[in-house]
């Protein structure tokens, strides 16, 4: 299994714009062969003091894929290219961590 944590930071005030496009793309991603989990998360309000918040412009995408090949196919999928084109102008930064369980 492959784990992916993608940290997406929007330009100020644009997180919800990106998330709208993200939500529209989720059904296509979840239908991909090898997709186990794919969803976005934001800071929880009222969390304990141990939380280190990402802030109002950032969201995290949590993904799980059966194989690295499935992840590579996901990256090359036409719906991902369309999503990237729709959101490119709203993104300030994107950091992707690809990991294997220990």
- Give me the CATH number covering residue 37: 3.30.70.100
Distance from C-alpha of 4 to C-alpha of 61, rounded to nearest angstrom? 8
1 DSSP 8-state letter? -
pTM score, whole prediction = 0.93
Q: What is the mean pLDDT of residues 3-23?
A: 98
Distance from C-alpha of 29 to C-alpha of 42, rounded to nearest angstrom? 19
Q: Quote the number of domains for the chain.
A: 1
Residue 39 forms part of a structural domain? yes
Domain that holds residue 83: 2-43+68-99
Structure confidence at residue 15 as a pLDDT band (50, 70, 90) = very high
Residue 54 forms part of a structural domain? no
CB 70 within 8 A of CB 37: no
CB 99 within 8 A of CB 1: no
Distance from C-alpha of 89 to C-alpha of 21, rounded to nearest angstrom? 12
Residue 55 forms part of a structural domain? no
């Amino acid at each position: 299994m492959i784990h992916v944590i993608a940290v997406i930071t929007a330009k100020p005030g644009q997180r919800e714009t990106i998330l709208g496009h993200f939500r529209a793309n989720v059904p296509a991603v979840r239908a991909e062969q090898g997709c186990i989990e794919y969803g976005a998360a934001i800071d929880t309000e009222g969390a304990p003091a141990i939380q280190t918040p990402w802030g109002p412009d950032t969201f995290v995408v949590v993904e799980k894929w059966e194989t690295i090949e499935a992840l590579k196919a996901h990256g090359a999928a036409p719906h991902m290219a369309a999503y990237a084109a729709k959101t490119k102008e709203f993104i300030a930064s994107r950091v992707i961590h690809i990991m294997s369980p220990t």
